[in-house]
Amino acid sequence: MLVQLFVFAGMLVQACSLLPPTPPSSSAILALPAHAGGLSRRSFGALAPALLLPLAGSRPVSAQEIGGVTVDVVTSGSGPKPTRGELAAIRFRAKNGDTVIDDIFGTPEPMYTRVGSGGMLKGVEQVLPEMRVGDRWKLSIPPELAFGAKGRPASAGKPRINGDAKIDFEVEMVGLPGREEELINIMGD
pLDDT at 155 over 70: yes
Separation CA 81–CA 101 (nearest Å): 27
Percent of the chain with pLDDT over 70: 62
Residue 179: band (very low, low, confident or very high) from pLDDT cuts 50, 70, 90: confident
Instruction: Provide mean pLDDT across the span 26-46.
Output: 41
Give the pLDDT score at 157.
Answer: 87
Give the pLDDT score at 62.
Answer: 61
pLDDT at 23 over 70: no
pLDDT at 80 over 70: yes
pLDDT at 55 over 70: no
24-33, 37-46, 47-56: range with lowest mean pLDDT:
24-33
pTM of the model: 0.63
pLDDT at 106 over 70: yes
Give the pLDDT score at 189.
Answer: 53
Residue 141: band (very low, low, confident or very high) from pLDDT cuts 50, 70, 90: very high
Residue 29 vs residues 24, 52, 102: alpha-carbon distances, Å: 7, 18, 52
Angle at alpha carbon of residue 28, lines to 22 and 32, rounded to 5°:
105
Nearest to 42 by CA among 71, 67, 4, 13: 13
- Beta-bridged to residue 94, according to DSSP, are 102, 169
Higher-pLDDT residue of 33, 60: 60
Higher-pLDDT residue of 184, 68: 68
Instruction: Provide mean pLDDT across the span 94-110.
Output: 95
Domains of the chain with bracketed CATH: 2-56 (no CATH), 63-184 (3.10.50.40)
Percent of the chain with pLDDT over 90: 59
Nearest to 71 by CA among 4, 146, 137, 165: 137
